[in-house]
Chain A
Amino acid sequence: MLKIDNLHASVEDKNILQGINLEVKAGEVHAIMGPNGSGKSTLASVIAGKEEYEVTKGNIEFNGENIDELAAEERAHKGVFLSFQYPVEIPGVSVTNFMKTAINETRKAQGLNDMPAKDMLKLIREKSELLEIDRKFLSRSLNEGFSGGEKKRNEIFQMAMLEPKLAILDETDSGLDIDALRIVANGVNKLKSKDNAVVVITHYQRLLDYIVPDYVHVLYNGKIVKSGTKELAHELEEKGYDWIKEEVNA
């Protein structure tokens, strides 16, 4: 589904990604871990199509198509979803209206008509129940005044609404208490199928107890320096990242 080949990317002439290779197949869950500043969030943003980042070398293939040159919205229309580490507050646009616009724009890009209002309401009801989101919450301005946990839950709610093929969860666990973590993880697990894939970017192993990865990769200095299975995450939790750094620097 996702095939990243020797990806180099920079922002304001600063090289951040320095040759990433990663392949994610349908039905798989990958975790990307690594110390602060290793390039995890950059990788997520580059896949989603943030324009500030320049791909200087390599490419990103999604379902056999090179998506390097596509705008963020075009990638979204093809089924790429990024759950933000810091969801942006948009005063004046309600959660419901934002979702209606996003879904109908995606449908338009796929040559479909607007979703009938009745179906939209049903979908909203279903997915908000899945994430245990109060209905009143949906008429509030997007992310404005939301707690950290509410913002993250809202991200996964949007993911549930959009049903992406590839979901990248960027530090979705940060700022979550244990109950919110359980709700979020439960939401992600229910949405998982053999046809879609999830990339979990995280600092800690905590979330991986709930969303169990098939593969774990360690990102350091803009490169994947180690890959393994979920046991690698446990090892990192126990020993920290210093041994990886030493291994790389040796």
Chain B
Amino acid sequence: MDLKEKLLSSFLVFENQVDIDTYVHDVRNDAIKIFEEKGFPTKKEEAWKYTSLNKILKEDYSVFPQQENALEYKDIKKYFIYDIDTYKIVFIDGKYSSHLSQTTHDGIDVCLMSAALTKPKYRILIENYFNKAATKDSLSSLNTAFSSEGAYIHIPKNKLVEKPIQIVHFSTGNESATMLQPRNLIVVGENSHVQIIERHQSLTNNPVLTNSVTEIFANKRAIVDYYKVQNDNSNASLIDNTFIKQKQESVASVHTFAFGGKLIRNNLNFYQQGERIDSILKGVTIIGEKQHVDHNTLVHHIEPNCESHQDYKGIFGENATGVFNGKIIVEKEAQKTNAFQANNNILVSDKATINTKPQLEIFADDVKCSHGCTIGQLDESAMFYMRSRGIPEKEAKALLMYAFSNNVLSSVKIPEIKQRINKIIANKLGVNLGFDL
């Protein structure tokens, strides 16, 4: 039985297991129909031209793990940003781990999607926000159909959430292959500020496929900083579907650090529904082996006087392949839009590949839009300059690659994350330079 059939036949069993709320029930049923009709995307679709899911769909995944598994904090501590106090929402094989989590209902809600979907007190919020940003593409629909668990974060207006929130998904590999479909909903009220870190981590080499959907709503003047740390092991694949709806004068940033995994596809979508909005999309990708990372971004400028800033850097070694597909739509009403997009890549091996494609659809006439992409090797003259000062070739390369990705790190607001990313980069490049920037 192929994965699609397996998912479809599992759906009925799944629906019987969860509490049936009429609204969510209808949404799920509509969603599974969409998935049934469209199926998994193939390379025939323009948006999937350079990314094939064929290989990873062949595994015999268990599609909604039921067993509760436990982990000791000391064994997984390193996957957290532990040097600062944070809220934590932790899942093990798709199940919530109260033991490892630190949630709150004190003025803000940092808790579980399962609670939000079933408890009456969240009902109005769910009806207003759940599945209101996600598109009706097949993978998001598949996630919607099976959505039952994930992070639910609601920040009322005028709150500065001082502690960052970490959302961490572990897979234990207790099943021979696991498919996970976490669903996150984040609603940030007027004038509020929140910082969120998301990570998916598999603890064995058993295949894992995560098809995640995150919906984020940034209300008036809200500030949302979201960091995605993608440094999973080489049999773990991630399809990340993130949808962000912004109201006037809000600022939302998403930093995506893609350092590992078998296949990563980031579908990152911003919708600007108000004036003077700023959307920031930054990414650093450093991969090797046969890894594949695909950034598929959309910024939809709907109203006037808004900005968007995209800056993606990629370093590709060995047989790695990368894709950047950045779409910017500027509607006719969206005059005075400033939209910037840059995608710069370094290929450090002859066999590495990057496909980069900007897509601009501009219907307004008074806008500033720029895009640029580069693909290059390391600057030889810079290499000689550094080596002539006594810095060996390997360290000089690392320093140059570090410097190359540095301006993406400069916008990271949490120093502990910056340090952590620094360390991962140095580690990735195989050197310890012992400098801080």
B389 and A102 form a contact (CB under 8 A): yes
Residue A105 lies at the interface, judged by CB distance under 8 Å to chain B? yes
Interface residues on A, range: 35 or more
Contact of A100 (CB < 8 Å), options: B379, B385, B435: B435
Provide a sorted-by-A list of 11 A–B residue pairs whose CB atoms are within 8 angstroms: A48-B388, A50-B388, A52-B380, A73-B391, A90-B382, A92-B406, A104-B434, A105-B390, A114-B434, A158-B389, A162-B389
A72 and B435 form a contact (CB under 8 A): no
Contact of B387 (CB < 8 Å), options: A72, A100, A103: A72
Query: Could you mark each residue 48-63 of chain B with 1 if its beta carbon is under 8 Å from any beta carbon of chain A, else 0?
Result: 0000000000000000
Q: Kindly provide the distance from the CB of B186 to the nearest chain A CB, expressed in whole angstroms.
A: 32
Tell me the complex Cα distance, A192–B346, Å. 42
Residue A109 lies at the interface, judged by CB distance under 8 Å to chain B? yes
Residue B254 lies at the interface, judged by CB distance under 8 Å to chain A? no
Residue A93 lies at the interface, judged by CB distance under 8 Å to chain B? yes
Tell me the complex Cα distance, A126–B406, Å. 29
Tell whether A93 pairs with B390 under 8 Å between CB atoms, given A50-B384, A84-B385.
no
CB interface residues, B 325-372, toward A, < 8 Å: none
Residue B81 lies at the interface, judged by CB distance under 8 Å to chain A? no
Q: Kindly provide the distance from the CB of A78 to the nearest chain B CB, expressed in whole angstroms.
A: 10
Query: Could you mark each residue 419-437 of chain B with 1 if its beta carbon is under 8 Å from any beta carbon of chain A, else 0?
Result: 0000000000000011111
CB interface residues, A 37-55, toward B, < 8 Å: 45, 48-52
* Complex contacts, B434 vs chain A, CB 8 Å: 100, 104, 114
* Complex contacts, B391 vs chain A, CB 8 Å: 73, 101-102, 105
Q: Kindly provide the distance from the CB of B228 to the nearest chain A CB, expressed in whole angstroms.
A: 22
Chain B residues within 8 Å of chain A by Cβ, number: 29
Tell whether A92 pairs with B403 under 8 Å between CB atoms, given A72-B384, A101-B433, A104-B434.
yes
Residue B381 lies at the interface, judged by CB distance under 8 Å to chain A? yes
Tell whether A90 pairs with B385 under 8 Å between CB atoms, given A97-B435, A114-B434.
yes
8 cross-chain pairs, A with B, having the tightest CB-CB distances, nearest first:
A92-B403, A92-B406, A76-B390, A72-B387, A106-B390, A88-B385, A102-B389, A97-B435
Tell me the complex Cα distance, A48–B381, Å. 13
Tell me the complex Cα distance, A109–B394, Å. 14
Query: Could you mark each residue 5-46 of chain B with 1 if its beta carbon is under 8 Å from any beta carbon of chain A, else 0?
Result: 000000000000000000000000000000000000000000
Q: B407's closest neighbor in chain A, by CB?
A: A92
Residue B393 lies at the interface, judged by CB distance under 8 Å to chain A? yes
Tell whether A71 pairs with B390 under 8 Å between CB atoms, given A88-B385, A92-B402, A104-B434.
no
Tell whether A72 pairs with B407 under 8 Å between CB atoms, given A93-B399, A97-B435, A100-B435.
no
Known contacts A92-B407, A103-B390; 15 additional CB pairs below 8 A are A48-B384, A73-B387, A77-B390, A81-B389, A82-B388, A84-B385, A90-B382, A92-B404, A93-B402, A97-B436, A98-B399, A101-B435, A102-B390, A102-B391, A106-B390
Q: A78's closest neighbor in chain B, by CB?
A: B390
CB interface residues, B 392-428, toward A, < 8 Å: 392-393, 395-396, 399-400, 402-407
B399 and A88 form a contact (CB under 8 A): no
B395 and A101 form a contact (CB under 8 A): yes
Tell me the complex Cα distance, A231–B382, Å. 37
* Complex contacts, B405 vs chain A, CB 8 Å: 92
Residue B133 lies at the interface, judged by CB distance under 8 Å to chain A? no
B402 and A71 form a contact (CB under 8 A): no
Which of B388, B390, B407 gathers most chain A CB within 10 Å? B390
Residue B280 lies at the interface, judged by CB distance under 8 Å to chain A? no
* Complex contacts, A91 vs chain B, CB 8 Å: 403, 406-407
Tell me the complex Cα distance, A100–B405, Å. 20
* Complex contacts, A50 vs chain B, CB 8 Å: 384, 388
Tell me the complex Cα distance, A217–B389, Å. 26
Contact of A71 (CB < 8 Å), options: B379, B380, B387, B437: B387
* Complex contacts, B3 vs chain A, CB 8 Å: none
Residue A94 lies at the interface, judged by CB distance under 8 Å to chain B? yes
Residue A87 lies at the interface, judged by CB distance under 8 Å to chain B? yes
Which of A81, A93, A104, A158 gathers most chain B CB within 10 Å? A93
Tell me the complex Cα distance, A162–B391, Å. 12
Contact of B388 (CB < 8 Å), options: A76, A97, A105, A109: A76
A94 and B437 form a contact (CB under 8 A): yes
Which of B391, B393, B436 gathers most chain A CB within 10 Å? B391
Tell me the complex Cα distance, A162–B406, Å. 26
CB interface residues, A 87-142, toward B, < 8 Å: 87-88, 90-94, 97-98, 100-106, 109, 114, 141
B389 and A98 form a contact (CB under 8 A): yes
Tell me the complex Cα distance, A131–B418, Å. 33
* Complex contacts, A90 vs chain B, CB 8 Å: 382, 385-386, 399-400, 403
CB interface residues, A 182-214, toward B, < 8 Å: none
Tell me the complex Cα distance, A199–B381, Å. 22
Q: Kindly provide the distance from the CB of B182 to the nearest chain A CB, expressed in whole angstroms.
A: 35
* Complex contacts, B379 vs chain A, CB 8 Å: 88
* Complex contacts, B406 vs chain A, CB 8 Å: 91-93
* Complex contacts, B400 vs chain A, CB 8 Å: 90
Tell me the complex Cα distance, A7–B324, Å. 49
* Complex contacts, A45 vs chain B, CB 8 Å: 384
B381 and A73 form a contact (CB under 8 A): no
Q: A51's closest neighbor in chain B, by CB?
A: B384
Q: A77's closest neighbor in chain B, by CB?
A: B390
Tell me the complex Cα distance, A109–B403, Å. 24
Which of B381, B385, B389, B396 gathers most chain A CB within 10 Å? B389
Q: A88's closest neighbor in chain B, by CB?
A: B385
Q: A93's closest neighbor in chain B, by CB?
A: B403
Contact of A76 (CB < 8 Å), options: B389, B402, B403, B404: B389
Q: Kindly provide the distance from the CB of B429 to the nearest chain A CB, expressed in whole angstroms.
A: 13
